[in-house]
Amino acid sequence: MTLTAVDWLVIAAYFALNLAIGAYYARRARGSTTEFFLSGRNVPWWLAGTSMVATTFAADTPLVVTGMVARYGIAGNWLWWNMAASGMLTVFVYARLWRRAGVMTDVEFAELRYSGRPAAFLRGFRALYLGIPINCIIIGWVNLAMMKILQVTLGLDAARALWALLALLIFTAFYTTLAGLWGVLVTDLVQFVLKMGMVVALAYYAVRATGGLAALEAKVRALDAAAGGGSRLAFFPSTDSAWMPAITLFVYLGVSWWASWYPGAEPGGGGCVAQRIFSARTERDGLFATLWFNIAHYAMRPWPWILTALASLVLYPTLADRESGYVRTLMDPNVFPPSLRGIMLAAFAAAYMSTIGTQLNWGASYVVNDFYRRFLRKDRAEREYVLASQAVTVGLMLVSIYVTLHLASIEQAWKLLIVTGAGTGTVLLLRWFWWRINAWSEVSGMAVAAAVSLYLQIVMGWDGDRPRDFAYIMIVTVTLTTMAWLAVTFMTRPEPDKTLTAFHRRVRPQGPGWKPVAAMSGPVVVHGSLRRELANALLGCVLVYSALFGVGQILLRSAALGLGLLLTSALAAVLIARNLEHLDGDSATRAAAAS
């Protein structure tokens, strides 16, 4: 693809804007680690939520969605659509609890909820495990996608694409180390607006190139008929589907969303989502930030990607690398206007940088706050910790390059994380609501989940890329992991009463699982109702899925059914709003009674 002087000017202006934002927030970020990692806990909900959306809107995402739609149809997106249920639990049940905890990272939570050496070990281990290898795998697959984009769009060979990627990575690391989370948040806002606008534009031009929505639908059906397979336009796979048999669909819908750890959809919240909740001004800001993220993530973003993916099937039916079909549409002068290519490349850079900036800042927060500060250099000046944070950010950048060179595919990396973390979700969810869970519960859950899933894949030869094997890996790993951590919980001592009561007074968890501790804690103001929060989580799923499939019906099938689904989504939103008003009223009444 040939770029004009105007294209390069647009790209340069985009980079200059990011650099200016980083320079503007540099002095504030140097003040303390709270400013560097949490923006002084003073972020409004709309900025925190948009940053979450931007972070998960990586350069790899449209490519992976394109590949899945080509191989499996629209229904292939259930690989990640199923996690909306976990997201809504985080919104209505866990976001307030995380904000009350007042920690800097979700890993620090270990020594708030537990005590002694097991808690310290858990905190240190999770800080290094999640902050370095897992974080670098995430950065690695985003790097891999960006390399593919650079090769296809600019015609670079692998070596030159790697150098271009390195330049992008260094630039992102520079403004991230310069400005901390404030720089990440504000650039995320700019980047989200840019890349969302451009993916919508690309979808419009791609569909137009196929002859419009009706023609696109007819041509995809014709391709499916010629291939003799199922319909790629189906929102759900058929029960006899080869790529998603009934057992695999059951695992996606009934197990994966609560059992597996996955970045951006951790059971009970965690990672960069928890970081944004910690940075929010209030509990309410944290809740609304996470709600906006889940609505935008699952209901707003997918269809432009899906439409472009379907169009690429029609436009390039013999393309070998289906993931690259997304990029081919923007390169084709008969599809996408050459005058917009510079803006589109800037949008891809934005998608890449928003994710990388967050991952570097989030990973550094683990390594510095939960390992360096906790175990190596206690009670030092804040300036030392900020400098250490900047150094770790650069180190993570270098390690991620090595990981990138050893990843085979993006989808493979996604599935690797899902199956390796299978089974840990139960303990992560229940630790908030059952006093008996201790540090050894989490340690054993992590160890057994990793050991079992790796044994099944390496020794038994079960392949996570094969649908049935993926389902069996999940079921066996979740079952054995849950049995193991429950057994360990009852074989080890509970946490001391002092730790449990302090946690209960600070976080104010609800439910019968805390009754013995509540009796020892004395009067504690507990806001809201767990039953109402669970009802809101269910309504949140109705809101998201009705909006998602309502838009899809309008675009590809029945406008009447689509409008009905959108009305259902709106009704769910109204009911959630009413429940939240009751929650705030209950909170005010109880606070007044307590005073």
User: What confidence tens digit (pLDDT) does each residue in 432-465 have?
Assistant: 999 999 999 999 998 898 888 888 888 888 887 7
Other Cβ atoms less than 10 A from the Cβ of 593: the count is 8
Residue 433 pairs with which residues in a beta bridge? none
Q: How many CA atoms lie within 13 A of 205 on its CB side?
A: 21
Query: CA–CA separation, 154 vs 358, rounded Å?
Result: 26
Task: Over range 127-145, report the average pLDDT.
Answer: 84
Task: Kindly state the helix (H) or strand (E) to which residue 364 belongs, with its residue range.
Answer: helix 341-367
CATH architecture type of domain 5-250+264-411: Up-down Bundle (1.20)
Considering the chain, what percentage of its residues have pLDDT values greater than 90?
A: 35
Confidence check: pLDDT of 320 > 50:
yes
Confidence check: pLDDT of 318 > 90:
no
Please tell me the pTM assigned to this model: 0.87
| Cα of 248 vs its chain's centroid, Å | 22
Q: Which of 24-28, 104-108, 353-357, 591-595 has the lowest mean pLDDT?
A: 591-595
Query: CA–CA separation, 465 vs 451, rounded Å?
Result: 19
pLDDT of residue 200: 94
Task: Over range 45-62, report the average pLDDT.
Answer: 86
Contact 348, 217 (CB under 8 A): no
Q: For the chain, what are the domain ranges?
A: 5-250+264-411, 525-595
- The 3 state secondary structure assigned to 518-545 is HHHHCCCCCCCCHHHHHHHHHHHHHHHH
pLDDT of residue 585: 46
CB proximity list for 290: less than 8 A, separation 6 or greater = 49, 52, 87, 90, 91, 95, 269, 273, 276, 277
Give the confidence band of 594 by pLDDT, cuts at 50, 70, 90. Answer: very low
Nearest Cα to Cα of residue 153 among 4, 312, 361, 328 = 328
pLDDT of residue 419: 61
Give the confidence band of 141 by pLDDT, cuts at 50, 70, 90. Answer: confident
Q: Which range has highest mean pLDDT (31-40, 185-194, 409-418)?
A: 185-194
Q: Which carries the bigger pLDDT value, residue 356 or residue 412?
A: 356
Task: Over range 466-487, report the average pLDDT.
Answer: 90
Task: Kindly state the helix (H) or strand (E) to which residue 28 belongs, with its residue range.
Answer: helix 26-29
Query: CA–CA separation, 567 vs 542, rounded Å?
Result: 11
Confidence check: pLDDT of 426 > 80:
yes
pLDDT of 285-310, one tens digit each? 999 999 999 999 999 899 999 999 99
Confidence check: pLDDT of 263 > 80:
no
Give the confidence band of 416 by pLDDT, cuts at 50, 70, 90. Answer: low
Nearest Cα to Cα of residue 106 among 98, 115, 114 = 98
379-405 residues labelled b (16+ CB within 10 A) or e (exposed) = eeeeeebbebbbebbebbbebbbebbe
Confidence check: pLDDT of 588 > 50:
no
Tokens 């607006």 correspond to 193
Q: How many CA atoms lie within 13 A of 463 on its CB side?
A: 4
Q: Which of 108-112, 126-130, 544-548 has the lowest mean pLDDT?
A: 126-130
Average pLDDT along the chain: 86
Q: How many CA atoms lie within 13 A of 188 on its CB side?
A: 30
Task: Over range 54-66, report the average pLDDT.
Answer: 82
pLDDT of residue 252: 83
Query: CA–CA separation, 447 vs 452, rounded Å?
Result: 9
Q: Which of 20-34, 297-311, 533-547 has the lowest mean pLDDT?
A: 20-34
pLDDT of 161-204, one tens digit each? 888 888 888 888 888 888 888 888 888 888 888 989 999 999 99
Q: Between the CA atoms of 37, 41, 46 and 47, what dihedral angle is there, to the nearest 10 degrees?
A: -30
pLDDT of 508-524, one tens digit each? 988 889 989 988 877 66
Output Rg (C-alpha) for the chain, integer angstroms: 24
Task: Over range 65-94, report the average pLDDT.
Answer: 89
Query: CA–CA separation, 359 vs 125, rounded Å?
Result: 18
Contact 150, 345 (CB under 8 A): no
Other Cβ atoms less than 10 A from the Cβ of 218: the count is 14
Concatenating the DSSP letter of every residue in 413-437 gives HHHHHHHHTTT-HHHHHHTTT-TT-
pLDDT of residue 14: 86
Other Cβ atoms less than 10 A from the Cβ of 136: the count is 22
CB proximity list for 157: less than 8 A, separation 6 or greater = 151
Nearest Cα to Cα of residue 184 among 18, 295, 297, 58 = 18
φ/ψ of 280, rounded to 5, equals: -70, 155
AA identity, residue 474 = M
Contact 323, 317 (CB under 8 A): no
Confidence check: pLDDT of 590 > 60:
no
pLDDT of residue 444: 92
Query: CA–CA separation, 428 vs 442, rounded Å?
Result: 8
Nearest Cα to Cα of residue 361 among 187, 138, 179, 108 = 179
pLDDT of residue 595: 37
Q: Between the CA atoms of 62, 63, 64 and 69, what dihedral angle is there, to the nearest 10 degrees?
A: 80
Residue 280 pairs with which residues in a beta bridge? 43
Q: Which of 58-62, 256-260, 530-534 has the lowest mean pLDDT?
A: 58-62
Give the confidence band of 2 by pLDDT, cuts at 50, 70, 90. Answer: low
Contact 572, 299 (CB under 8 A): no
Task: Kindly state the helix (H) or strand (E) to which residue 593 belongs, with its residue range.
Answer: helix 559-594
Ramachandran quadrant class, 43 (left: phi over 0; alpha: psi -120 to 50; beta: rest): beta
CB proximity list for 59: less than 8 A, separation 6 or greater = 142, 145, 146, 149, 348, 351, 352, 355
Q: Which two tokens stand for residue 329?
A: 């549409």
